[in-house]
Structure formats: structure tokens, C-alpha cells
Chain A
Amino acid sequence: MEPSNTPETGRNDGAPGPRHAYVLRLFVAGMTARSTRAVANILAICEEHFAGAYELEVVNLYERPSLAAGEQIIAAPTCVKAFPLPQRRIIGDMSNTGRVLEGLDLVTHA
């Protein structure tokens, strides 16, 4: 059971390749104010830019510490864009929307 407190738009049912245009995983360390901010910020961006076409999973590292090494997490919060490739890591409370969009490859680097 994934600890997820955000609306997940359904999972891939075994079909090859993700069903959604965007697959994101947000790793936080406990539900602190900063974590909550990060969740709200990334959610707003997703809804605005790819409503209905994304999957966002929020993972609390304290509950699943083994994932930190496996997913190469050092900072919290870290949002991993798993799909589409290339993989990217957006770290911080996601308050700098411009940077988040760059991280999601929605806008190119200035």
C-alpha cells in the first residue's frame, strides 16, 4: 500500500509503458509544513498543465526508508519525474514555479 494522500489518477494495469503522460513521485520526510507546501505546489502545477494525464504519488521516507537509497534521494522534498525520460529530480518546496516547469521539461532552460 503506497502512502498516498493525493488523488491518484489510476495506475497502469500491467500494460507496457505508463498510461499517463507524466509519472511523478514526491518524496517527503514526514508531513511537515514544508512537505505540505511541496505537495500543494506540485499538485497545482500538475492540475494546471496536465490535468487528467498524470500520476503523482507522495512517499513519506520515514515510512519507507529503504526507498531513499533505491531512488537516489538525498534532499527532502524531492520530486522525481520518472516519465517521460530523461529522469529528473526537482528538490525543494516547489515554490519556484518557473524552476519546477524547467525540471518537468515543460519550458527549456533559460
Chain B
Amino acid sequence: MAIAETPGHHSRIVQLSKSPTGIDGFDQVAGGGLPAGRPTLVCGGAGCGKTLFAISFLVHGATRFDEPGVFMSFDESGDELAQNVASLGFDLPGLVEKKKLVLDHVKIERREIEETGDYDLEGLFVRLGYAIDSIGARRVVLDTIESLFAGLANQSILRAELRRLFRWLKDRGVTAMITGERGEGTLTRQGLEEYVSDAVIVLDHRVTEQISTRRLRIVKYRGSAHGTNEYPFLIDEDGLSVLPVTSIGLTHDASSERISTGVARLDMMLGGRGYFRGSTILVSGTAGAGKSSLAAHFLDAACRRGERCLAFVFEESPQQVVRNMRSIGIDLQRWVERGLLEFHAARPSLHGLEMHLSRMHRAIDRFQPSVVVLDPVSSLLRVAQQTDVQATLTPASRTAGPSTSRPTWRSRRSWTPGSC
């Protein structure tokens, strides 16, 4: 439950209790999740991912944190919603059946409604209260309550009632997420940010040069520390995930353990022992200089030690890499078959940089490799502004930034979770 703040005392703020969203990366940048027992505003333009963000918060609440939830939709019907999120692996009808979720579609047909004097929105309160009580809900989503303004004419009643609604949600102690669409010069069309002031999250979807990037920013989070950067996020078949890329500190341990480069003479040159474990190595050279071969040697050596390796390749298919390396006597296929080596191939132009990084981040989280190869990292330069790449890659790469000379592949050991 929420704990009282001590206003004006920055040094003595009682730690708020958090309600984890279960969204990869988000809880990390939000210091554990949303403020428990309070409303949070999630806003952004059309199609930026508000609904998916909100439904992920509810579904994870119900499935992982034993917190049933109510989804009150002012836009899509329950069926539409269920269909839209089925592709993310969310089974809404199943959760409804198990009494972990209530879906209520609030239909407001302007032409069906006649306003004749004084009223309030008590019907909505009763409806929401009943839904909460029917499953003992701890989480509530209102998506997006601004639609009420299109359906009802009396704006002053609406504003007063919304203010009352958000206070009521707080009194009920539910963790609520309210979505709103971006307005002209305001975070939301109806200025909801004025009413919901505990936490405000802005989602953004941009398409530049046919490459789409999604970003998330925590604009405000009362009583809690939070990352203030724009974080790239990703929506794919596994749902929504935020890449906490710029939250990477320079506090990782520096191992003094050494591991073989896979090339005996190179190990000799590096003090007879090879690379430092957990370091980032930049191999740069002209076309045909042997960069990929050096990477293959490193992978092969790691697999021989029984370590897991992940290779991101941007210019060739895994089959091509395996074939080419066989010609210099390295059999990578057997490591793939034994599950020690995994290739991820993606055309650089397929996504924006953030999307590439998010996917890589996710793949690494899942596979937990101790060695990662990117071949060639310069491919990523082509899909992003140089400054973007620096901002995004540099905090993670330790020995050299990608802007120096002509980077080709990076390899590192001992992946530190949360870094990129």
C-alpha cells in the first residue's frame, strides 16, 4: 500500500511501495514499478502502445503477482481487445473465466444520449466498484477515459467527476493506470495530467526514414527516483519490453580473469592469456581483413570450454557464416546443434537501432550467453544517426566507442544483466 510522503523533505522521503508491471525493463527504470495504490497516467499519440502497456500491466498483475484487475475500455470492445492481444500470448477470456480479470466495455453513443439537466457519473462509479469487488481487484485500467468527453456535452460536470473518480480510486487503494491521447501542446487532450499527478509516463512512436522507433519517458514520479531518459521500447510477439539502456552505470565489476581469443598467437600477444572476461573488444579492419574469422575463432574456443555464445550477424545468414568458417577449418555447426551457439540474423535496415538493441537485449536475457559477437557493428551505423549510436552503444562498450575507426565486431564475456 502507498505510504505517506513527507512533502518538502527531499532527504527524508519514505520509500513508496511499488506495484510491478512485469514489463521487461520498465520496472527497472521506474525503481520497481508503478506507485502502488495510486493512479498513473500513460499518454501518447495514436497507436503508440498505450493499450498494450495497460493490458500488460493487468495481465502480469493477474498471472504473476496475484493481483486481479479490471480493464474498463472506452474504446475497444472486450472481444476486440482479446483478439488484439492474443498475438502477444495473452489469454483474456481465460483470465476472465478464472476471475482474475474483468473486461468492461463502456459504450457511449453520442446520438443515443439526451442530456436533460443535472447529473453525475455515479453510474460509472457503481459499475467500477462492482467490477472491483466481484474479483477483489487490486489493479484498474481506464482506457481511455477521455472518450467520455466526446460522448457527453457537459464538460464542467465531466471535469468535476473525473477529479472525484481519481480521488475515489486512491481511496479504494487500487493501483490504477489511466490512458490519454496526446493533445496540442498538452500531454493529453483533456489535460488529465492535472488530475493524475502521481506518475506520468509518455509513450512515443516515431517513423523516420521508414524506420520506426518507440520510446518511453517517465515525466513525473512523485516521491520516487526514476530514470529520466527516453528509453526505447519494443512491441513484438513476446509483448512489450523497455530497453533500460541509458540506465547502465559504470559500476560493473572488472574481472581480471582471462579467456582465450581462440588464436594461440594472439593470446601470446595479449600477455599469453587472451582477453579479459567481461570486456568489450573492438576488431576493426578493411573488407576481407579477417574480422569475422577472428570472431569465429573466439566463438569456437568458448564453445569448446562449454560456454554459451550468441552471435548477431547483420550481413550474412547463419548458413553462410557456418559455410565460410568451415572453409577455414572451424566447424560452428556442431556447437549450434549442441545448443551452445545461437545465431541471430537481421538485416540492418529492418529496424531502427533501438529495435535492434531491444531484440539483442531480449535474446541475451533469454539465452544467458557468456560470449556475444556482433558482426559487423558498423551495420548499425547505417540505421541510425551517428550520435544515436554513440549515445546508445557507448555506455555499454568499454574499450572503444563504435565511432572510432571502422568497427566490425564486438565480443564480450560475462554478460552483465541490464547492460547492453
Contact = CB atoms under 8 A, between A and B. Distances in A.
Nearest to B104: A69
- Number of chain B interface residues as a range: 20 to 34
A100 interface: yes
A89 B114 CA distance: 6
Contact of A99 (B116, B122, B125, B131): B116
Interface string A64-104: 01101100111111100000001111111111110110110
Contacts of B127: 65, 68-69, 73-74
B88 interface: no
B114 A77 contact: no
B112 A86 contact: yes
Nearest to A29: B122
A94 B126 contact: no
A54 interface: no
B108 interface: yes
Interface residues of A, number: 32
Given A61-B126, A65-B127, A87 B114 contact: no
Residue among B116, B117, B125, B126 with the most chain A CB within 10 A?
Answer: B116
Contacts of B130: 65-66, 68-69
A94 B122 CA distance: 16
Residue among A29, A89, A92 with the most chain B CB within 10 A?
Answer: A92
A77 B119 contact: yes
Contact of B119 (A61, A66, A91): A91
A82 to B, nearest CB: 12
A95 B117 contact: yes
A90 B131 CA distance: 24
Contacts of B121: 74-76
A50 to B, nearest CB: 17
Given A68-B130, A89-B112, A94 B117 contact: yes
Given A66-B130, A74-B127, A87 B122 contact: no
Given A74-B106, A74-B108, A75-B152, A68 B123 contact: yes
B120 interface: yes
B116 A94 contact: yes
A2 B373 CA distance: 71
Contacts of A95: 116-118
B129 interface: yes
A99 B119 CA distance: 14
B124 interface: yes
Nearest to A27: B123
Residue among B104, B106, B119 with the most chain A CB within 10 A?
Answer: B119
Given A95-B117, A97-B116, 4 more contacts: A69-B131, A73-B123, A73-B124, A74-B127
Interface of B: 104, 106-108, 112-127, 129-131, 148, 152
5 contacts: A68-B130, A73-B127, A74-B124, A91-B119, A99-B114
